[in-house]
Amino acid sequence: MMAKKAAVSACLLGRNCRYNGEIKENKEAIEKLKRAGCEIVEFCPEEACFGTPREAMDLTLTPEGVKALTKFTKEDRTTPVADYAETFFTQNPDIDLFVGKARSPSCGVRTARLYDEEGNLISEKESGIMAAEAKVRGIEAVDDENL
C-alpha cells in the first residue's frame, strides 16, 4: 500500500459516533493502515452535522436524484453532508486514500444501500455522500471491509 495519508471513518477507530451511539470499530483495518505507515485523519460528517444520537438516514432515489433522507421523518440531509465533505477534502488536500465504513449512506464506498421512495431496496452497491465526493476528486476509495 503506497498511501501516506488516509481519511478514515471515525467509527472504525472506535469513536461512538454512530447514529445510535454504538461502537463499530474495525481494529484489523486500522492495524493494516498503521502497519503500512499511513497517517490517519478521522472524520464523521453525520456527527459533525447532526450530533449523536440522531435519526438514521437512507439513500433514497427521488425525482430530484439521490438524496440522504432520515428514515422516519424524511428530512433531507444531503446538503450538510456534501458540504462537510467538500470542506474536509479542501482542508486536507493531500489525502490519498479514503476508507469508509461499509454500507453507510455517508461513508460507504461501494456498499451503500439505495431505496426507492416506498422503501424498496434498489441497490446495495452505491456510494455514500462523502465517499462520492472522494471519488469525484480522484482519491482511491475503499470500504473498510475490503481494505
The residues that touch ligand SF4, with contacts defined as CB under 6 A, are: 9-11, 17-18, 44-47, 101, 104, 106-107
Count of other CB atoms within 10 angstroms of residue 32: 15
In whole angstroms, the minimum distance from the beta carbon of 63 to ligand SF4 comes to 26
Identity of the residue, 3 or 46, whose beta carbon is nearer to ligand SF4 in the bound complex: 46
- Cα Rg of the chain (Å, integer): 15
Identity of the residue, 49 or 61, whose beta carbon is nearer to ligand SF4 in the bound complex: 49
Q: Look at strands 57-62 and 39-43 and give their pairing.
A: unpaired
In whole angstroms, the minimum distance from the beta carbon of 95 to ligand SF4 comes to 15
Count of other CB atoms within 10 angstroms of residue 75: 13
CB 66 within 8 A of CB 77: no
Amino acid identity of 113? R
In whole angstroms, the minimum distance from the beta carbon of 91 to ligand SF4 comes to 17
Identity of the residue, 103 or 118, whose beta carbon is nearer to ligand SF4 in the bound complex: 103
